[in-house]
Structure formats: C-alpha cells, structure tokens
Amino acid sequence: MLLTRFLDTISKIAPGDPFGGREEAIAKLNPDKIYLENVRSALGVSSGRAQQILDTAVRQGVFERFVEVVCPDGVAAASASRESELPEMVHCWQEQDGGLTEVVLPTNTLPKVVFYRLR
C-alpha cells in the first residue's frame, strides 16, 4: 500500500508515463534505505528530478529523510533523522597488518549520505 502511495506521488509529479516500464525496478528498492541514485536509476531521470520526487514524497508523508555516517570502508556506522542527532564518535573497522581492527572515529571527519525510508 505504501509503495502504491509512492508510485501515485511520482505519477502526480511526472504526468504521462513516468515509469516507462520500470515498475519492477522501483519495486526492487529497499523500502528501509532508498538512496537518490537508486531512484534516479530506477526511473531513468536526472539526479535533480529524482531529488524533486524524493522531496515531494517527504512533504506528502510517504518517505522520511535520514542521514548516515559512513566509515572509510563504506559501511554505514550510524544513522539519524538529522545530522545533529548523529553520535560524535562511531566505531569502524580498519585493516591493519592483514587483520581488522576496531577504531573509534569522530563523526565530523567522515562522509555523510542522505537516504529515505518508506513510512
């Protein structure tokens, strides 16, 4: 039902046939972590257009916006609804001397990535 609301939202934003036969690609999106690039690719639109669709879905209550902090190995260490709610320090794994070592890194030195979650 929520996926239907998202698809309806897209239809309202992009009149005509916004999906172009891509409904299956959209249905494969992880509803707990939807990234801008996933929407852009699934719909075959520009990044700006995908952002507009996501922002509209947030305003209409279909999606919630989150931010995650990413460790150097690309793994998400923590997420929150706002960047200010992220922890000051996160635990990451780094390769040292052929093995993995847990390290604690300051959040403000690591990249942040926005993602969306289906409500």
Residue 65's CB: how many other CB atoms inside 10 A?
14
- Digit-coded pLDDT (tens) for 14-54: 555 555 556 666 777 788 999 999 989 888 889 999 999 89
Q: Which has more confidence, 14 or 74?
A: 74
Distance CA 115, CA 3 (A): 16
CB 71 within 8 Å of CB 103: no
Helices (H), 1-119: 2-13, 23-27, 36-43, 47-59
Domain boundaries, the chain: 2-64, 66-114
Q: Rounded to two decimals, what is the model's pTM?
A: 0.79
